[in-house]
Every structure is written in structure tokens, then in C-alpha cells.
Amino acid sequence: MNKRTVFSYSVLAASIFLTLPPVVSAVTPDALTQSTKAELEAPRQFKLEQPGSPGELRNKQQRGFDQTPLQSTGYWVKKGDVLTINADYSGNASPSLEAFISVPHDRTYQYKHAQRQKLNRGLNTVSVTQDGILYIANFSNPIQSDITINLQGGRPFPRFILNKNSKSDWQGMLADPEMKASPYAELLSDRMMITLRRDKAETLIKDGNPVGMLETWDKIVSWAEDQYGLSATESNSLHRRIPHRFHFLDGIPPKGVVNDDACSGALNAWSWRIQSCTENGIKAAVNEQTLRSDGWGPWHELGHHFQMQTQKWDGMTEVTVNLTSLYVQRELGNLPRPEVAGTWDKAVKYFEQAQRNYHEQELHLKAAMLWQLDLTFGKDFYARLGKVYREMPKNEQPASSDAKIQRFILETSRLSGYDLTPFYEKWGLPPAQTTKDHIKQLSLPWMTDPIWENRDSNIKFDYSQAQNVSAPTVTLSRATIDAISTVGTSYSYSVSATTNQQDVTYKWERIAGNDRITARTPDAARTDIVIPAGLTDTEASFRLTATNKAGKTGEALIKVTVSAPQVVVTGDHQMESSKAVVLKAKANFDYNQGNIHYQWSLSKDGHTIPDGISLNGQIKAGLKAGHYLAHVTAELYSGHRRAEMSHHIDITGDDTADNNSWKQEKTYPNPCVKVTYNGKTWLNGWWTVGDKPGTGDEWAVWRELGAKNMHAACK
């Protein structure tokens, strides 16, 4: 954006936390080959994820914020661009889909400045009115069929996907001349989508490798879910893990762009997002070392997305959220903030006061009372409490601030198995008489121990339930399976598991995707993922749950992707009629690569040219000038297994008759067709008819042979 941009803003939750000076590292990878560049660009055809309506599960789980409905495309746009987006799905359902163009520094509620356009089934044309990143928003619950998006237009920008891209991929994206034009970069994992300024992606991500940072974020999100008891795999469970990604945004605009909206705190949380407002704020989110050692702010803002509204009475918005930060801090093995900041010492002085009022204390001292319930009754205390609250009938859920306080005292007493009246009275939060009467009816023993003396470094009174036993850690022999479709017979991949504990039980289950892909378990610690013949362009996910005798569980996921086999053909695209040209083919079968048979044919205008191409791919000399099509089929035989596929390539003969001159009425359905016009040679990037070579901007469909901005597929 070059012009001044004006934004509006509403108040939202924010936090300020300690920061470290930035660490800067340079990215200077070797130049990319064109084939590598094409592989690094996001695919223009992809299946839309269908995690469901963001608001429905959030409401059932009594949380405050929706996660993002936006799904990354890997492309950004500029004002004046024209996009074509084909949305393809079957059945009678009408999912609510939108093309969504936004920037990470839009600080308004649910991005009020975004350009949004509803996507209907079939072909949609989007005339771009502002610069930004293109997303596809899905607001609907899953439908019976896949939703396939086919995108034309837009510009690729650096987008790293965990478990798909490598460190060298990421450095290549940042170094690519075309992708450098984008002011933004994006990183995706199973649980997170992080969008930031491109220059910050270069300088803040440790060693130019985002893998560790994204893996840490996935663990942090899973720990937050564990803390609140979100773990069930059933799609209709109140206690299921959150299927949407959490979107972390760099709220500072790129150089040259002015944003007049207010941005609160170092970081803030709101519906659809977590956003940084300072340089140190974004560093805490994307620098792995800072995220792990000094990431209180990002952990805190993530906690806002997990706060249960029924447990958050007046004055507690910035209090209960810190339970997540404390839980994550402990899982990472860091020194507890209440110890480092002297909060427990303040609590001792507070208890010495004759009159105590919990509501008047600073937020970290308030959080200390809540944290003592975890320290005393176990790290799964809030997980068990969360399940109790989520299973409350709607008409029994507390609504007023006082009702929330009294219900919290009642339910924590019931869950702990003790009358906690002495604990809450010590903290200056005395139960009402009606609450005392309810607790008395439960016949609970009086909490005689001064559990308010517990602190991270000295838990004097431990009432935890088997908390001395840690959850098992599960390691799989493979986390992803990239399979190639076959015909004739099914085949399988073996996956074995190990844990750091003995005497665990295993449960293998398919949790998403194509139900024809199954898990066959010959023994407890091993499964065979079975892929039937004929499947292609589909996927499935499996979960292994290991449970120890204490009831603690550990999980690991396997993602299976089945793709259509392909043949890569190399060779000249143009030949003189007096010379022969040799084409070479290589199939990407994933087994028995040495037993592949290739069959070639050559045609012109739909008619086969007898003996036009040899068995080894040599097109003979002496053919008449014209437009030819070479076709190759590869077949693999291995016992009863067989897969076959084909790939087309355009061959152009000697153009003495000017048969390749551009014609306005002619349809050019395939990319990289050479035509002549006004004494120049041009190549198209996609399907076109009527578009005159030499017209349009640098991103037009026709580009002159040898141009620096030539379509990647035509180089």
C-alpha cells in the first residue's frame, strides 16, 4: 500500500511482558533452479479444510473468542488484479465461503477493512480493490463432499508449512526474486497460522529455520487444551480439541504504510486472532528461543482464547488467563513467574492482614490463588473442572458475577473432595451462606491443612491424584505417509510406536479423512495403514493414544496423503524439422522404480503420427511444421500391483509457415504455448482466448520469450 490507510479500533484484552533485544540473522541461500521454485510456490488447486463453524464449538465450550475461519492460499494481491476462483463441490449443500483479502496489521474486530466476496459454486471473478493477502474463509460446518478451490491470478509469497517444507525451502522462498516483492510471509503448522512482515521473518526466526518454533507452538496449544480438559476425538464431543488454527498476526505495518488505528499493549487477543503491537511482541511469538524462555505474552494471549466465561467473574479477564501461561511455563521447564516475581512473598504478607479482600488485589496475586488449586490437587485439576462446567445444563450455568464466584467455590470443593471454605476465606473470598449450605449437603471433610501456603518451590500439602506419574511420550516411526495411488491391489505402510514408559495400552483410530483408508493392527505397538487401490487426491489422519496405569495419556498423529502418480517430461519445447529431439520421462512411483515401462505416441491435430516418436522418446526428423503433442504412459508391474499414468507436453515444429501466429478467436487451453505476434514470440501462463499479446501489465497471460517475469512453468 502506498496511500495512507485509516483504521478504527475497539478495546480488547492485552498484556505487557519482558522482552529481549532482537537477534538478527541473514538469509543468503544459493539461487533456486526453476523446478525448485515451482515446487515452493503454493498449489493453485487445493482442497479446503472443513473444521466447522468457528462459533458453535466455542459457544459449547464456554470460551470467549472464535478461532480463525481463514485458510491460507499462499498468494497475495495488488489493487487492480483480477482473480478467478473456481469452487467445486457436489451435493445440495451450500457452504458459506468467501474470498477474503486482508493485511496482518488490520487491528479492527474481525478485519473490518478486508475486501470480502462470497464464493458461489463454480467460477467466481474477483476484482481486487486493495493490496493484501488472499485467504479463503469457510464459515460452515462440514459438508458430505470435498470442497476444491482452483485459483488463477495473484502472486506467490513465502509460505512455510510444517512437515511439508524444509529449512532450505524456507530460505529459498525468502531469497526468491518474485516472492521478495511481497511485504509478508506466512507459516503454518497443525495448530497455528503466523503472518508477519517478510523482513521480520528473515531476522527473527532462529537460524533461518522455523521448524522448532512451529513445533513449540503446536505443543503450547496442546498444553492449553490439556489444561482445560480438551482431548476427546469425537467430532460431537463437548471436550474435543479445537479443530481451527490459531492465527498470530504481526500488527505493525510494513515500511511506507501508515496505520492510525490504536494497538493495545505489546500483544492482544480478539476474535479470529492474536496480534502483536510491538517489535518485541512479534519476536516473542516467532523466535523459538524467546518463545520458549520469555514467551509469557504469547502464552497469555493464547490463554484468552481458552478462558471459560462461566469461571470469569468481574475483574478476572486478565487473571484467569494467566493459568495458561503458568501451565505452559511449567511444561517448558522454566522458573515459575510467581517465584521469580515475588508473588508468593506478597501472598504471605497479604495473609498477615486482619482484613483481606480478594477483589482489591493485583492480578498476579489473584492468579496465585487459582494456581494453588493446581499445585494442591494436581495439574489435571482444571481439566477435570472444565469438563464439569461444559457438561452443566445451559440453564444451570452461572451468568452473573456473584453467581460465578459462588459456583466456582462450590464446584472446586466438590471436585477436590474437601470443603474449601477455609481456603477461600483466607484469600478474602468468603463463600455466601447458601454456598456453605450446599457444600455441607455434600458431606465433605473440612480442609484442615493451610494449603494457601503451597507455592511452586514448596508444595507442603499434596492432594494430587497420581500426579507423580507423568504422561507417556509416544514416538512413531513415521508421522506422515505420502503415498501414490495404484490400481489392481491395495498396499500398506507399517507404523510402529515406542513410549518412554512400560505397561501402557495402545489405541489406534482414524480421526479424519477418507474412511476407505484404514488401520490394521497386528500387535499393540504397531499398525499397518492400508490404502485400497484406486484412491487418489485424498487424505486421512490417524491418532495413537497410549495410556499408562495412572490413566495419563500421550498421543501421536499420522497424516496419510494419497496423490495421483505423475510423469515428469524433460526436453526441448521447440525443434527444427530437419533435426530430431529426444524427450525423457521419469515416473514418481514410490516403490520398485527399476521396473517401469514407458510408451510414447505423437499426434498432430488429434491424429496419431505413425512412427513419429521412438520407444525411447526420440521425435524423428523430417516432420512438417506444425503443432504436435507428445504423450507418454508409464506402467509399473510388481506382482499384482500396477499403476499407470500419463503426461502431455507441447512440441512446436519449424514455424516457416507462421502456423503459430496468434489468432484472436483461437482458444489456448494449455499453458506455455508459443505464438508469434508483432514480430515477437510469446508464451501464455494459463487458459486464454482473445487476450492480445503485449497488452496488460507485467503479470499478463502472454509474456515475451526470455522475459525475467516468465511464467515459472514455461522457463
pLDDT in tens, 145-194: 999 999 999 999 999 999 999 999 999 999 999 999 999 999 999 999 99
0.75 exceeded by pTM: no
Looking at residue 130, its amino acid is Q
Q: What is the pLDDT of residue 18?
A: 30
Cβ contact 81:154 at 8 Å? yes
Cα dist. 281→175, 251, 265, 333, 441 in Å? 25, 9, 9, 22, 49
Please, how many CA atoms are within 13 Å of residue 708, restricted to the half-sphere of its CB?
4
Handedness of CA 200, 205, 209, 215 (dihedral sign): negative
Q: 562-578 pLDDT, tens per residue?
A: 888 777 777 776 677 66
Tell me phi and psi for residue 513, to 5 degrees. Answer: 95, -165
Q: What is the pLDDT of residue 469?
A: 59
* pLDDT at residue 658 is higher than 80: no
Q: What is the pLDDT of residue 595?
A: 66
* pLDDT at residue 503 is higher than 50: yes
Q: What is the pLDDT of residue 579?
A: 73
* pLDDT at residue 616 is higher than 60: yes
Q: 392-410 pLDDT, tens per residue?
A: 999 999 999 999 999 999 9
Q: What is the pLDDT of residue 617?
A: 74
Q: Which of 2-11, 460-469, 488-497, 682-691 has the lowest mean pLDDT?
A: 2-11
Q: 286-325 pLDDT, tens per residue?
A: 999 999 999 999 999 999 999 999 999 999 999 999 999 9
Query: Could you tell me the three cell numbers for 623?
Result: 516432420
Q: What is the pLDDT of residue 20?
A: 32
* Alpha carbons 691 and 701: distance in angstroms, whole number: 8
Q: What is the pLDDT of residue 655?
A: 43
Q: What is the pLDDT of residue 6?
A: 36
pLDDT winner (highest mean) among 203-207, 425-429, 514-518, 622-626: 425-429
Percent of the chain with pLDDT over 90: 59
Tell me phi and psi for residue 544, to 5 degrees. Answer: -110, 125
| pLDDT top residue among 346 and 636 | 346
Query: Could you tell me the three cell numbers for 407?
Result: 459456583
* Alpha carbons 515 and 144: distance in angstroms, whole number: 12
Q: What is the pLDDT of residue 7?
A: 37
Tell me phi and psi for residue 130, to 5 degrees. Answer: -160, 155
Q: What is the pLDDT of residue 167?
A: 94
Query: Could you tell me the three cell numbers for 660?
Result: 503459430
Closest C-alpha among 554, 531, 551 to residue 543 = 554
Cβ contact 686:667 at 8 Å? no
Average pLDDT over residues 14-39: 44
* Alpha carbons 715 and 707: distance in angstroms, whole number: 9
Pairing of strands 159-161, 184-188: parallel
Indicate the length of the chain as a whole number: 715
Cβ contact 680:694 at 8 Å? yes
Cβ neighbours of residue 277 under 8 Å, at least 6 residues apart? 14, 251, 252, 263, 264, 265, 266, 267, 268
558: number of Cβ within 10 Å: 24
125: number of Cβ within 10 Å: 12
Cβ contact 296:364 at 8 Å? no
pLDDT winner (highest mean) among 228-232, 344-348, 413-417, 570-574: 344-348
Q: What is the pLDDT of residue 11?
A: 31
| pLDDT top residue among 212 and 533 | 212
Q: Coil, strand, or helix at residue 268?
A: strand
pLDDT band at 3 (very low <50, low <70, confident <90, very high): very low
Query: Could you tell me the three cell numbers for 212?
Result: 522448532
Q: What is the pLDDT of residue 125?
A: 98
Average pLDDT, the chain: 87
Across 252-330, the runs of DSSP E, i.e. the strands, are: 267-270, 273-276
Q: Which of 116-130, 332-346, 394-408, 505-519 has the lowest mean pLDDT?
A: 505-519
β-strand partners of 547: 505, 553
Closest C-alpha among 75, 49, 47, 78 to residue 135 = 75
* pLDDT at residue 488 is higher than 60: yes
* pLDDT at residue 40 is higher than 70: yes
* Alpha carbons 310 and 563: distance in angstroms, whole number: 46
* pLDDT at residue 545 is higher than 80: yes
Average pLDDT over residues 331-359: 97
Percent of the chain with pLDDT over 70: 88
